[in-house]
């Protein structure tokens, strides 16, 4: 990144600023994000600078949602909403641009924004231990509780068809119907065709599962939408969750979607880009610790149908596998990549995680039963037949 360009952009948010250091944050798959250290009014300070991806419906909408959430969280934390917890909870508020008094700066055909940096924190792509799985569950529960009374009607739709599994399935079927597989390298072609074949029965089952879930009365709530591990900030010393960041995907949805996506992320201790795909498996112990953390402040007997959690985990892993594969077959338009077959490899990693998850479903269901949540034995037996 051009140092002078970043310095010029920064001056639009901070008048008397001199950039000292630029650090590119690689964990995000959508926006380009930088940690900026600068000198302002004679003092060193840090902030987050972000170039917003064009996948969003509009940058105005994501900023409206962002401010709605951060204002609400700041108000709640001032009133000590989580009275039983002495740990800090912070949120990355947007910083206004001096040149236009807005939360966004159009610059060289891109949209840039700045937000506060949360100090003394660290993020992870892979959990260090099961205690951190507990803290991640607790952190997600805090976010859900703090945001539980936000008026869902005030939320803007930021990504069309986000977490709409039917849309991803329709897209997949259209892509492979007309795809010219001859243009692929021989080895890549084999990998793609093997993955398509392996997914075929899962896709048929997901289509029926979606109909089943649609008939269930699940209460809509505010959800984060992308609670992967790297979006949790941990206190650098004590390793408890301080914040859940990347609020662009916040929307009205099902708490189960957030739980399932977070579990999918943290229970793959090899990470989404492992050096060796053979190391990918679904970690049941991590799952148990996460649930213990989440339900330490959440009522598991509420109206949220937590008995459907296994179905949602299965659905989210299949969904992300298809999304990565779709993106590869469409020339990598959505997710950032480091090499041409990156999204194909990501899809293969998710499929391996899916296979491990399915084989361990009986144990997972037993874990849920031990904390008073009954799961559907028919779902367990049906999915295991596919494998």
pLDDT in tens, 33-90: 999 999 888 889 999 999 888 777 677 888 899 999 999 999 988 766 665 567 899 9
Strand runs (DSSP E) across 60-109, as ranges? 94-95, 105-107
**Per-residue confidence band for 201, with pLDDT thresholds at 50, 70 and 90:** very high
Q: Is 383 a residue whose pLDDT tops 80?
A: yes
Q: Give dist(CA 33, CA 112) in Å, integer.
A: 10
225 dihedral zone (left: phi>0; alpha: psi -120 to 50; beta): left
| Alpha-carbon dihedral sign for residues 148, 149, 151, 154 | negative
Which band of pLDDT confidence, cut at 50, 70 and 90, is reported for residue 18? confident
Concatenate the DSSP letters of all residues of 181-220 into one string.
GGGS-HHHHHHHHHHHHHHHHHHHHHHHHHHHHHTS----
Predicted pLDDT at 104: 87
Span 258-272, pLDDT tens digits: 999 999 999 999 999
Q: Which residues pair with 130 in a beta bridge?
A: none
The pLDDT value recorded for residue 46 is 94
Helix (H, G, I), strand (E, B) or coil at 163: coil
At 30 the pLDDT is: 74
> What value does the mean pLDDT take over residues 304-331?
95
**Does pLDDT of 329 surpass 70?**
yes
Q: What percent of the chain has a predicted confidence (pLDDT) above 90?
A: 67
Q: What is the pLDDT of residue 27?
A: 72
Q: Can you tell me the distance from the alpha carbon of 350 to that of 280, in angstroms, rounded to the nearest whole number? A: 9
Query: Beta-carbon neighbour count of residue 166 at 10 Å?
Result: 13
| Average per-residue pLDDT for the chain | 91
- pTM for this prediction: 0.93
Tally of CB atoms within 10 A around 124: 17
d(CA 310, CA 4) in angstroms, rounded, equals 50
């Amino acid at each position: 990144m051009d140092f002078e360009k970043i310095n010029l952009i920064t001056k639009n948010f901070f008048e008397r600023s001199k950039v000292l250091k630029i650090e590119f944050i690689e964990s995000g798959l959508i926006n380009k994000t930088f940690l900026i250290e600068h000198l302002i009014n004679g003092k060193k300070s840090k902030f987050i600078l972000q170039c917003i991806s064009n996948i969003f419906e509009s940058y105005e909408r994501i900023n409206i949602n962002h401010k709605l959430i951060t204002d609400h969280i700041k108000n709640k934390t001032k009133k000590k909403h989580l009275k039983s917890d002495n740990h800090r909870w912070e949120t990355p508020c947007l910083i206004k641009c001096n040149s236009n008094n807005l939360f966004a700066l159009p610059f060289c055909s891109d949209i840039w924004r700045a937000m506060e940096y949360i100090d003394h924190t660290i993020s992870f792509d892979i959990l260090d231990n099961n205690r951190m799985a507990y803290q991640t569950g607790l952190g997600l529960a805090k976010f859900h509780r703090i945001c539980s009374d936000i008026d869902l009607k005030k939320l803007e739709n930021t990504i069309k068809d986000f977490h709409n599994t039917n849309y991803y399935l329709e897209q997949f079927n259209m892509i492979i119907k007309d795809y010219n597989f001859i243009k692929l390298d021989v080895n890549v072609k084999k990998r793609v065709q093997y993955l398509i074949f392996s997914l075929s029965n899962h896709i048929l089952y997901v289509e029926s599962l979606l109909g089943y879930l649609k008939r269930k009365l699940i209460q809509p709530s505010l959800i984060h939408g992308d609670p992967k591990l790297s979006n949790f900030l941990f206190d650098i010393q004590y390793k408890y969750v301080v914040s859940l960041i990347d609020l662009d995907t916040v929307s009205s949805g099902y708490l189960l979607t957030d739980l399932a996506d977070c579990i999918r992320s943290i229970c793959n201790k090899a990470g989404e880009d492992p050096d060796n795909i053979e190391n990918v498996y679904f970690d049941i112990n991590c799952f148990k610790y996460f649930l213990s953390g989440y339900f330490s402040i959440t009522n598991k007997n509420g109206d949220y149908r937590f008995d459907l959690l296994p179905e949602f985990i299965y659905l989210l892993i299949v969904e992300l596998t298809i999304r990565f594969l779709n993106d590869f077959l469409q020339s990598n338009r959505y997710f950032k990549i480091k090499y041409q077959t990156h999204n194909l490899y990501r899809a293969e990693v998710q499929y391996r995680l899916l296979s491990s998850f399915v084989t361990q479903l009986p144990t997972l269901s037993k874990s849920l039963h031990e904390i008073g949540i009954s799961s559907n034995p028919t779902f367990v037996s049906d999915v295991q037949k596919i494998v």
